[in-house]
Amino acid sequence: MEYKTGKITVRYSETDQMQFVHHSNYLKYFELARLEWLTSMGVSYAEMEQQGILMPVVSGSLAYKAPLYYGDEFEVIVKLKNLPKATLEFEYVIVNQKDEIICIGSTVLAFLSPNTKRPMRCPKFLLEKFS
C-alpha cells in the first residue's frame, strides 16, 4: 500500500548557503507525506492523540541521491512496509520534476500509551485502514 503526494515546490527558506535543500527538511517532507496519506484515509492525528494514541518517530534513515534546489518541484511516495503491530514502518522516495530520485528513506513510528509511555498494539480502526 502506498501514497503519492501532489507536487510540492521547494521554498527559499528550505535551502542552505550552498543553495541545496537543507538535509533536515527531508524528514519534514516524509512527515508531510505520511500525514497527508493518513488524512486522505480519514485518519486525524490530532483525534488519535485525544484518544490516547501516541505515535512518535523512533527511527529514521535517509540516503541522498541528488540535491533539490529552490523552485524545484517534487513528490513524495510513501509506502507502508508491513501491516502495523506495535510499530508502523514507512519507506519513502522523493522524486523531482524530471522524475529523478532525489532521496530515499524510512521511518519507524511506535504506538505508545500516553499513561505508561510503553508500546501498545496498533488500534483496530487504524489496522483496518491499512488492511
- In the block, cell 515546490 appears at 9
Selecting among 2, 16, 49, 100, the annotated active-site residue is 16
Clarify whether 99 is annotated catalytic. no
- Give the domain range for residue 119: 2-130
| Overall number of domains in the chain | 1
Q: Dihedral sign, CA of 43, 45, 49, 53?
A: positive
Q: What CATH code is carried by the domain that includes residue 118? A: 3.10.129.10
pTM of structure? 0.92
Residue 86 grid cell: 506495535
The tens-digit pLDDT sequence of the chain (131 residues) is 899 999 999 999 999 998 999 999 999 999 999 999 999 999 988 888 888 889 999 999 999 999 999 999 999 999 999 999 999 999 999 999 999 999 999 999 999 988 888 999 998 988 898 88
Predicted confidence at residue 51, as pLDDT, reads 86
